[in-house]
Structure 1
Amino acid sequence: MRLRKSIVRGILRCARPPFGSPRTGVVGRRMMLALLTAAARAPRGTRFQRVTIAGVQVEQVRPPHAAASGTLIYLHGGAYALGSAKGYRGLAAQLAAAAGMTALVPDYSRAPEARYPVALEQMVAVYSRLLEDGHDPNTIVIAGDSAGGGLTLALAMALRDRGIALPAALGLICPWADLAVDVAEERPALRDPLILPFMCAEWAPRYVGSSDPRAPGISPAYGDMTDLPPIVMQTAGDDPISADAEKIEIACTASNTALDHRRFDGMWHDFHLQVCLLPEARDAVTDLGLNLRSHLPAESRDLLNHRKAVSR
C-alpha cells in the first residue's frame, strides 16, 4: 500500500497530542510507538528467531533470500525509553534485505528503568561476544535510528577507545546525538509533524541521570570521530533533531572521518518507518542498505551477488 506524503504527515500530526502528553505515561507511549513502527512490515519470507547474546535478548532477522552475507546490528530508536527489538524488526528486515545481510536487533535496557551507561555497556558486550564467536568485524555493520543512531555512534567510540576491532561501517538514521541541548531545553522547533523539542527535553534527563550530558557516551556529537569506520548518515529536513547531524558532520570533517550524508528535505524524523507506505522512505532504506553493503570486503560482495544471481 502507498499513501501520499501529506496523508502520512496528517496521521502523525494527529498522534502528536497523546504521544507527547505525560498523562499517557511511559507504557502508553510505548504502545503508541509500537503501533507506529508496525507500519514497517518485513518482506515476505523473512525469518525471525529470538536468541540471547551476552545476556541480552536479540531478534535475529534473516531476509527472504538465502544470499545474506554479513551481519547488520540494528539499534532501535525510541528516546532510549520506548521502542523494542520486536517493534523495529520490520524496519530492520527491510534494511537487511536491501543490504543483503542478516540483522540482529538487541533489546537493550530502556529508561527510566535503566539509565546511562547500561544500554551502551550491553551493546559493547553483545558486539564483543559476536567477535568471540568468530564473526569477522569486517563483515559487520552497525546502524540505528534516532536514539539508536546516537547509540551506534557512541558504541563505535567505546569500541575504538577499548581497542576492540571496529565494524566495517556505521549507519545513522536521524541520529539523536546531542542530549545536552535537550537537557538545557534549547532545541529549536521545525516542521516535524510528530516530534517537538519539549519531548526531547522530557526524555533526555531520564536517560542521562546524574551523568554529564555532554559525555561522548551520551552525546557522541561532542566526541572524537578520529579512526571511526566510514559513516553513512541520512537525515530529514523538517526534523528538529537534524541539528545533531550537522554537528556530526563538522566533527567528521575535523577528524577526516569518511561521511556520506544524505538529507531528505520536506521529510520528518524517522520517516524510514513508513518504508512500506512512502516511496521516499523506500528510496532511503534501499539507498542506505546498498551504501552499507558497499563497505563489506570485495569477496563478500561478490559472493552475495553470485548467490542472488543463482537464486533468480
Structure 2
Amino acid sequence: MTPGKNAVRFVLRCARPLFVSRYLGVGGRRFMLAMVTAAVRDPKGTRYQRVTIAGVPVEQVQPADHATHGTLIYLHGGGYALGSAKGYRALAAHLASAAGFTAVVPDYTRVPEAQYPLALDEMVAVYSQLLADGLDPRTTVIAGDSAGGGLTLALAMALRDRGIPGPAALGLICPWADLALDMDRRRPMARDPLILPSMCAEWAPQYVGAFDPELPGISPASGDMRGLPPIVMQSAGDDPIHVDADKIETSCTATGSASIDHRRFDNLWHDFHLQVSILPEARDAIADLGVKLRSHLPMPAEHASNHPPTKG
C-alpha cells in the first residue's frame, strides 16, 4: 500500500465519526461531503455553465480539449441525501476528459426534501428533454457513483420500460443498487475507512419511504437486466457496497441478458475515484472507465458532433 493510500485512508477514518453522528444533521453532513469533493481539482481549462433542463438545475461541463465525440450524463453520489452537481462536476470533468466527451451533471432532488420516485422521474425528464433538443442516444452514455450509480441503472431500466431510446452504455462506480439489503440491515461489514453498513441502513429508509424496497427503481440490482445498454462497472474490494456490484454482475452473466465489464479494485474503498487528484489508482480507474465507455460509441466519422443542447 502506497503512502498516498495510507494517508487518504487515515483521513477518511478520522472523518467517519462526523458522518455517522446524528447530531451533525443532514446539513452538516452535506458540508462534510462537499469538503471531500472539493479536493478534486478540475482538469486544467475545464469550463462550466449552470443551466436548467426540464426544470432541473444542471452543471454543463466542457473539457479543455473541446471534445465532440459524445456526451456524458453524470449522476452524483451521496446516499440520495448528500452531494451536488457542483460538488461532483470536477469528477465528471475528469471522466468526460478521459472519454473525450462533454458532460451534464443534474442536481436531482435529494432526501429529506423528497423521496423516491422524484429523483428518478426528474432524470427521465432531463434525459427526455435532451433527446427532444437533439441529443443522439447513440453517442451518449450515462454514468454515476454510489447512489448515482444505482440511479443510473434504475434510469436505464425506466427508459427501456417506457420505450425511450437508451444510451450507448452505462458507467457504474461503486453502485449502491440494493437498498432492500439495507432496509433489512443485512449488509456485511468490510474494511472501508469511511462507509459502514449502519450508514446505508440509516439512509435507505429515508429514500424508500413507504415503497417496496425491492422495486427496480429503488434496488435495480434486483431488476430485469434484459435489453439494457452495455454496462462498464467498477467496484472496490474494501467497500461494503461492493456486494451490489457483484449482484449486478451475477444477474447479467447468469442470464446473458446484458453485456457487463466489471473491474474490482482490491484494497481500495468506496468511491476512491474522488481522490483522482492524488491517487494513481483513482486516475487509472477514471482513465480506464472513460476509454471503455467511449469504446461503445460509433466511430467519430459515423456521426456528427454531439454537444448537449444548451438551456438557459
Q: For the residues of structure 2 that align with 1:267 and 1:69, how far apart are their CA atoms?
A: 31
Q: For the residues of structure 2 that align with 1:98 and 1:21, how far apart are their CA atoms?
A: 37
2:285 corresponds to: 284
2:261 corresponds to: 260
Could you tell me how far 1:301 is from its partner in structure 2? Answer: 8.5
Alignment of 1:215-230 (within 5 A): 215-230=215-230
**Aligned residues of 1:146 and 1:270 also touching (Cα < 8 A):** yes
1:298 corresponds to: 299
Q: For the residues of structure 2 that align with 1:3 and 1:217, how far apart are their CA atoms?
A: 40
Could you tell me how far 1:300 is from its partner in structure 2? Answer: 5.4
**Aligned residues of 1:224 and 1:255 also touching (Cα < 8 A):** no
2:239 corresponds to: 239
Residues 26, 164 of structure 1: alpha-carbon distance in 2 compared, 3 angstrom cutoff: same
Count of residue pairs the alignment pairs up: 303
Q: Secondary structure at the match of 1:33?
A: helix
2:274 corresponds to: 273
Return structure 1 stretches of 4+ with deviation > 6 angstroms: 301-304
Matching residue's letter, 1:44: K
Q: For the residues of structure 2 that align with 1:3 and 1:29, how far apart are their CA atoms?
A: 27
Alignment of 1:70-149 (within 5 A): 70-149=70-149
Gaps of 5+ in 2: 306-312
Q: Secondary structure at the match of 1:104?
A: strand
Q: Secondary structure at the match of 1:22?
A: coil
Q: For the residues of structure 1 that align with 2:303 and 2:52, how far apart are their CA atoms?
A: 31
Gaps of 5+ in 1: 305-312
Residues 245, 300 of structure 1: alpha-carbon distance in 2 compared, 3 angstrom cutoff: farther
2:21 corresponds to: 21
2:7 corresponds to: 7
Q: For the residues of structure 2 that align with 1:273 and 1:300, how far apart are their CA atoms?
A: 33
**Aligned residues of 1:80 and 1:111 also touching (Cα < 8 A):** yes
1:33 corresponds to: 33
**Aligned residues of 1:69 and 1:301 also touching (Cα < 8 A):** no
**Aligned residues of 2:67 and 2:102 also touching (Cα < 8 A):** no
Is 79-88 or 66-75 further displaced after alignment?
Answer: 66-75
Q: For the residues of structure 1 that align with 2:50 and 2:208, how far apart are their CA atoms?
A: 29
Residues 288, 300 of structure 1: alpha-carbon distance in 2 compared, 3 angstrom cutoff: farther
Q: For the residues of structure 2 that align with 1:53 and 1:238, how far apart are their CA atoms?
A: 37
**Aligned residues of 2:69 and 2:300 also touching (Cα < 8 A):** no
Same amino acid, percent of matched pairs: 71
1:195 corresponds to: 195
Q: For the residues of structure 2 that align with 1:300 and 1:254, how far apart are their CA atoms?
A: 36
Q: For the residues of structure 2 that align with 1:300 and 1:246, how far apart are their CA atoms?
A: 36
**Aligned residues of 2:76 and 2:88 also touching (Cα < 8 A):** yes
Q: For the residues of structure 1 that align with 2:42 and 2:27, how far apart are their CA atoms?
A: 25
Could you tell me how far 1:157 is from its partner in structure 2? Answer: 0.2
State the TM-score, normalizing by the size of structure 2: 0.95
Matching residue's letter, 1:93: A
Could you tell me how far 1:38 is from its partner in structure 2? Answer: 1.1
Q: Secondary structure at the match of 1:86?
A: helix
Task: Provide, for residues 168-205 of structure 1, a one-character-per-residue CA deviation record: whole Å limited to 9, x for no partner.
Answer: 00000000000001011111110000000000000000
Matching residue's letter, 1:11: V
Q: For the residues of structure 2 that align with 1:302 and 1:224, how far apart are their CA atoms?
A: 31
